[in-house]
């Protein structure tokens, strides 16, 4: 058993907690949406993000046992449970991103460490470092086409795919968990920039922002 | 702009996602403490500046964040192949001519960088003759 000291960095109460989007929401008023907005932007705030690194076979076994979903073995893919609340995404040949509902990440980390035992692995809790923006609506693909160099056509980007790429010069994880539903995982320091880029790029189609 | 095949992501990505990381296949002296200044200095500081086939390391910086190797022509910018760390290149300066002939393409291993471009001295000489 490893002698790593674990620490649940989530406060007991979420009162006063601020997501990476807090500054943006405080400093920019919500724009009025048109009649039939082409793009809807929402934030999935305060989720639990873990970075798993290690060998695919041992990690797959542990993740299957504990989360009940398989580790995506093929590059640039993601797996999720039926409800879409828990997901595992391939980031590199020895690196995966696990996103779970907020508050579950510390317990998950403990369970994974126990299951993995003496295997060669690393688990890092990055929940505070990034946030998830969801995009939906008829014109999402047009907005993404303006922003990323990656091909987002359905033939190149089917449901279940997820890539790390350049979004308007910022490093962003883009994933497509459902047919009409895209997610951006953005770094805290790029959240305001990315969000305002999205508002600007989506303005011509009409955009609504759902604020938590 | 390069369209680079990442051997770890298993697909082509834009050059914007990559970062070049210098010459590949450098061999570190086995015993640094007892190597000569020439050996150690050569390993640390001196790099080949090949015209033609060149083996390089690249980093998929915005992506899987892995280093990999690329065989590229430094004169024509043609990318022959990319391969994972620890693997040996299948295209080298010695066999690139043969590979090109097999595929029916004229070998351009040490030619001018762009078609029609010639060294200054040669074109000047020709003008004098004319």
DSSP A119-134: SSEEEEE-GGGEEEEE
Q: A138 near A202, Cβ under 8 Å?
A: no
Residues 6+ apart with CB under 8 A from A117: A1, A2
How many angstroms separate the CA atoms of A88 and A59, rounded?
Answer: 11
Please say if the pLDDT value at position A197 is more than 50: yes
How many domains, chain A? 1
Structure confidence by residue, pLDDT tens digits, B18-51: 999 999 999 999 999 999 999 999 999 999 998 9
Q: What is the pLDDT of residue B72?
A: 93
Q: Which long-range contacts (CB under 8 A, 24 or more apart) does A80-83 make?
A: A80/A177
Q: What is the pLDDT of residue A13?
A: 85
DSSP B76: T
Mutate to test the interface with A, among B60, B64, B68, B84 (most CBs of A within 10 A): B64
Mean per-residue pLDDT, B71-89: 93
At residue B3, φ and ψ (nearest 5 deg) are -115, 105
In a domain, A82, yes or no: yes
The parent domain of residue A120 ranges over: 37-210
Give, in order, the Cα–Cα distances in Å from B119 to each of A127, A139, B18, B99, B126.
Answer: 58, 53, 32, 27, 11
Please say if the pLDDT value at position B113 is more than 80: no
Q: What is the pLDDT of residue A8?
A: 85
Q: Which residue of chain B comes nearest to A168, CA vs CA?
A: B16
Nearest to B80 by CA among B99, B65, B64, B66: B99
How many angstroms separate the CA atoms of A143 and A40, rounded?
Answer: 11
B8 at interface of A, judged by CB pairs closer than 8 A: yes
CA A176 to chain centre: 10
In a domain, A12, yes or no: no
Collect all residues of chain A within an 8 Å Cβ-Cβ radius of residue B64: 75, 91-93, 95, 164
Is residue A100 left, alpha or beta, with left meaning phi > 0 and alpha meaning psi from -120 to 50? beta
> Whose structure tokens read 């066999």?
B95
Mutate to test the interface with B, among A53, A75, A91 (most CBs of B within 10 A): A75
CA B117 to chain centre: 21
Sign of CA dihedral A184, A189, A192, A198: negative
Task: Select the more confidently predicted residue: A118 or B130.
Answer: A118
Q: What is the pLDDT of residue A7?
A: 84
Q: What is the pLDDT of residue B21?
A: 95
Please say if the pLDDT value at position A11 is more than 90: no
In a domain, A19, yes or no: no
- Reading the block at residue A203, the tokens are 């303005």
Across the interface, do B62 and A164 touch by the CB < 8 Å criterion?
yes
In a domain, A137, yes or no: yes
Q: What is the CATH number of the domain that holds A183?
A: 3.30.1360.120
Domains of chain B, each with CATH number or no CATH: 3-110 (3.30.2270.10)
Q: What is the pLDDT of residue B39?
A: 94
Give, in order, the Cα–Cα distances in Å from B66 to each of A55, A98, A204, B74, B86.
Answer: 15, 20, 38, 22, 13
Please say if the pLDDT value at position B118 is more than 60: no
Mean per-residue pLDDT, A26-38: 76
In a domain, A5, yes or no: no
Q: Which residue of chain A comes nearest to B13, CA vs CA?
A: A150
Please say if the pLDDT value at position B63 is more than 70: yes
Mean per-residue pLDDT, A104-132: 94
At residue B39, φ and ψ (nearest 5 deg) are -65, -50
In a domain, A146, yes or no: yes
Please say if the pLDDT value at position A118 is more than 50: yes
Nearest to A67 by CA among A55, A80, A83, A48: A80
How many angstroms separate the CA atoms of B44 and B26, rounded?
Answer: 9
Q: B83 near B25, Cβ under 8 Å?
A: no
User: Which of A45-59, A74-88, A198-212, B35-49 has the lowest average pLDDT?
Assistant: A198-212
- Reading the block at residue A43, the tokens are 């934030």
User: Which of A27-31, A116-120, B108-112 has the lowest average pLDDT?
Assistant: B108-112
At residue B100, φ and ψ (nearest 5 deg) are -65, -40
Structure confidence by residue, pLDDT tens digits, A123-182: 999 999 999 999 999 999 999 999 999 999 999 999 999 999 999 999 999 999 999 999
Residues 6+ apart with CB under 8 A from B50: B74, B93
Please say if the pLDDT value at position B107 is more than 70: no
Please say if the pLDDT value at position A88 is more than 60: yes
Q: What is the pLDDT of residue B130?
A: 46
User: Which pLDDT band, with edges at 50, 70 and 90, does B115 fall under?
Assistant: very low
ipTM comes to 0.89
Please say if the pLDDT value at position A184 is more than 50: yes
**Measured at the alpha carbon of residue B89, what is the angle toward residues B87 and B95, in degrees to the nearest 5?**
155
Please say if the pLDDT value at position A97 is more than 80: yes
In a domain, A144, yes or no: yes
Q: A86 near A99, Cβ under 8 Å?
A: yes
Please say if the pLDDT value at position B120 is more than 80: no
In a domain, A177, yes or no: yes
């Amino acid at each position: 058993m490893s002698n790593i000291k674990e620490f649940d960095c989530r406060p007991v109460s979420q009162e006063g907690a601020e997501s990476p989007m807090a500054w943006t929401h405080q400093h920019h008023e919500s724009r009025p949406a048109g009649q039939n907005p082409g793009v809807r932007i929402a934030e999935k705030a305060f989720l639990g993000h873990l970075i798993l690194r290690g060998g695919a076979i041992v990690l797959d076994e542990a993740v299957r046992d504990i989360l009940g979903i398989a580790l995506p073995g093929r590059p640039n893919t993601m797996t999720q449970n039926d409800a879409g609340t828990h997901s595992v995404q391939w980031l590199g040949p020895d690196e995966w991103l696990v996103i779970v509902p907020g508050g579950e990440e510390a317990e998950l980390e403990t369970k994974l460490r126990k299951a993995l035992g003496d295997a060669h692995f690393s688990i890092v809790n990055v929940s505070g470092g990034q946030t998830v923006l969801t995009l939906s609506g008829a014109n999402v693909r047009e907005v993404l086409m303006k922003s990323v160099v990656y091909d987002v056509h359905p033939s190149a980007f089917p449901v279940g795919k997820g890539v790390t790429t350049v979004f308007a010069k910022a490093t962003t994880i883009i994933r497509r968990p459902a047919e009409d539903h895209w997610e951006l995982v953005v770094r805290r320091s790029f959240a305001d920039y990315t969000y305002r880029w999205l508002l600007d790029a989506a303005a011509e189609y009409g955009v609504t922002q759902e604020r938590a | 702009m390069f369209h680079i095949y990442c051997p770890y992501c298993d697909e082509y990505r834009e050059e914007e996602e990559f970062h070049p990381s210098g010459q590949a296949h450098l061999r570190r002296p086995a015993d640094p403490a007892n190597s000569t200044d020439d050996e150690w200095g050569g390993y640390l500081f001196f790099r080949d500046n090949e015209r033609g086939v060149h083996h390089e390391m690249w980093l998929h910086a915005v992506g899987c964040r892995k280093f990999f190797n690329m065989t590229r022509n430094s004169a024509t910018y043609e990318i022959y192949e990319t391969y994972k760390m620890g693997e040996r290149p299948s295209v080298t300066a010695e066999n690139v001519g043969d590979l090109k002939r097999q595929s029916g393409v004229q070998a351009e291993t040490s030619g001018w960088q762009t078609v029609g471009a010639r060294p200054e001295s040669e074109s000047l000489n020709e003008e004098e003759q004319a």
